[in-house]
Structure 1
Amino acid sequence: MRRLTWFNATSLTLGFAFLYLPMVILIIYSFNASRLVTVWGGFSTKWYASVFQNQAFLDAALVTLKVAMASSLAATVLGTMAAYVLVRGGRFYGRTLFSGMIYAPLVMPEVITGLSLLLLFIAIGLDRGILTIVLAHTTFSMCYVSVVVSSRLVSFDRSVEEAARDLGCSPFEAFRLVTLPIIAPAVVSGWLLALTLSLDDLVIASFVAGPSSTTLPIKIFSSVRLGVSPEINALSTILICIVTVGTITASLMSKRAVRQRQKEEQLAVQA
């Protein structure tokens, strides 16, 4: 194992400081009693109370949560299906085009994606609202789910699935009872990634959102354009805490699932 040199330690310190020091400063100033975000006026939690009393922020947060839950669920289902077809489908007519269309949103600029979806919704006469945001977020996030699930399916031991087929399971039952539980950590990871991307999206949502479907990132961006207020710092701190708790919870669940699967494999070997 290589020792940690001073160069590596300095690089890590500067890198983490560049990434996380602004967040730390934001969290500290969210407890600032002064209305001026650059002048410390004492410790106070009044801005957190102000956030929960701001109806515009609450409405935007509700819209964001609805869109994130719906789009992440749809993206997980469609992305898992696409990954299964790409890994298990073998060679079929149009496979190159299909895989290219699945992975295109990974490299496509968000401005182009948002503008193209806006033109599509206008062409088909679909009014912009929560539905259009859900469709847009599902479109660009399902490719991330597909990548995560595909990486798990590639290393999947197909002999377990074949054994289930030999015992009388249909292809769908083998997938539901054997394959899906094994790849569940990857599916959950893809769902969390899609959920995070939806909660964080600003560019695409700004193209396809309607007047009555303002998401929280759009609301924050419009508020910041008029000047950063302590309420924005408090709201951002709340979001950071939610993301942190969700990440830690998902990591613990994933480790628990891995340990459980290892125990089951050991019991199967001993039997």
Structure 2
Amino acid sequence: MERERAAYRSARARRSLLASTGSTVVVLVVAAVLLVTSPGWPRVRDTWFSWDKAVESFPAVLDGLWLNIRLMVVCAVAIVVLGLTLAVLRTLRGAVFAPLRIFATVYVDLFRGLPLLLVLLLLGFGAPALDLTGLPTSVLFWGATSLVLSYSAYVAEVFRAGIETVHPSQRAAARALGLTYAQSLRFVVLPQAVRRVVPALMNDLVSLQKDSGLVSVLGITDAIRAAQISTAEDFNYTPYVVAGVVFVALTIPMARVADRVSRRRGQGPVGGHL
């Protein structure tokens, strides 16, 4: 009976797979036929999907993407450190820590409320003009700073949610064993909290990879800016499509890894916060 049930489930799974594949192929074929038979398709094809233009612009876009990747890695490290610090400050107890809690709360509310693009414009164009002593005037530095400030507010809330999921008895047991507050936070609370929020953190990493392209508004030659420069030569928009393809090719594997980690931890697919 068990073998019969397994054979039935296997046959049903095959039928479902064939049905879903067939329906998907039909929808794609119909959409492709409607697209290529539309009156404006020849002009769209030459303007947005020119193979020669794609080959010509690909090296510059790929070189700009390398800047996006480096920017993402550096910012991700700074975001985790700053976000975890803010989360710990918001969870400190006692009246003496009230100023720190207020500072962390105001910081999170401020940068979660400001659009990232606005932060980039304010710091990218405003901060270098101040010529602050000891700080670089490079727009790349201030673009990275904008990403760190904005994303650390979201990551801080992710960490705080993880910290608050740890039952208070864990803290009490740690203190009963003689650990100080800092030791119980370091050795008992944070390890559990971080493990529980890994899927959400990976989702933020995926979003950071995409949003690193916004630094192009400051004139930084990343993948999007390289595509814009190539487009300005003959007003052919194929380089934008190339930039979109390379971003998708980089983001999708990261998203699948995030979903896999989420499933292994018994959660659903990871959703975005933006």
Q: Which category of TM-score, normalised to the shorter sequence, fits these structures?
A: 0.5 to 0.7
Matched with 1:18 is none
Pick closer, same or farther for the CA change 1:235–1:87 going to 2, 3 Å. same
Check if 1:196 corresponds to 2:207.
yes
Q: CA deviation at 1:201?
A: 4.1
Q: Does structure 1 retain, via aligned residues, the 8 Å contact 2:210–2:251?
A: no
Q: CA deviation at 1:58?
A: 2.3
RMSD: 3.7
The aligned amino acid for 2:244 is S
Q: Does structure 1 retain, via aligned residues, the 8 Å contact 2:206–2:251?
A: no
Q: Does structure 2 retain, via aligned residues, the 8 Å contact 1:165–1:171?
A: yes
CA–CA separation in structure 2 for the residues paired with 1:249 and 1:164: 34
> What secondary structure sits across from 2:77 in the alignment?
helix
Matched with 1:217 is 224
Matched with 1:160 is 170
Q: 2:138 aligns with which of 106, 117, 128?
A: 128
Q: Identify the range of structure 1 (57-66 vs 238-247) with the bigger mean alpha-carbon deviation.
A: 238-247
Matched with 1:72 is 76
Pick closer, same or farther for the CA change 1:77–1:60 going to 2, 3 Å. same
Q: 1:93 aligns with which of 99, 102, 115?
A: 99
Matched with 2:22 is none
Q: CA deviation at 1:149?
A: 1.8
* 5+ long unaligned stretches in structure 1: 1-20, 260-271
Q: Which has the larger radius of gyration?
A: 2
CA–CA separation in structure 2 for the residues paired with 1:54 and 1:148: 37
Percent of residue pairs bearing the same amino acid type = 17
CA–CA separation in structure 1 for the residues paired with 2:157 and 2:59: 38
Matched with 2:45 is 38
Q: How does 1:1-271 map to 2 (within 5 A)?
A: 37-38=44-45, 50=55, 54-89=58-93, 91=95, 92-93=98-99, 95-117=101-123, 118-125=125-132, 126-184=136-194, 185-187=196-198, 189-190=200-201, 192-203=203-214, 205-207=216-218, 213-223=220-230, 226-229=235-238, 231-258=239-266
Q: CA deviation at 1:145?
A: 0.5
Q: CA deviation at 1:173?
A: 4.0
The aligned amino acid for 1:130 is L
Pick closer, same or farther for the CA change 1:116–1:151 going to 2, 3 Å. same
Give a deviation string over 1:38-85, Cα, whole Å, max 9, x none: 369x9x98887x37x843212211111111111121111111110121
Q: Greater relative contact order (Cα 8 A, min sep 6): structure 1 or 2?
A: 1
Q: Does structure 2 retain, via aligned residues, the 8 Å contact 1:57–1:216?
A: yes
CA–CA separation in structure 1 for the residues paired with 2:249 and 2:62: 17
Q: Does structure 2 retain, via aligned residues, the 8 Å contact 1:68–1:199?
A: no
TM superposition score normalised by structure 2:
0.65
Pick closer, same or farther for the CA change 1:80–1:195 going to 2, 3 Å. farther
Higher helix share: 2
Q: Does structure 2 retain, via aligned residues, the 8 Å contact 1:69–1:195?
A: no
TM superposition score normalised by structure 1:
0.66
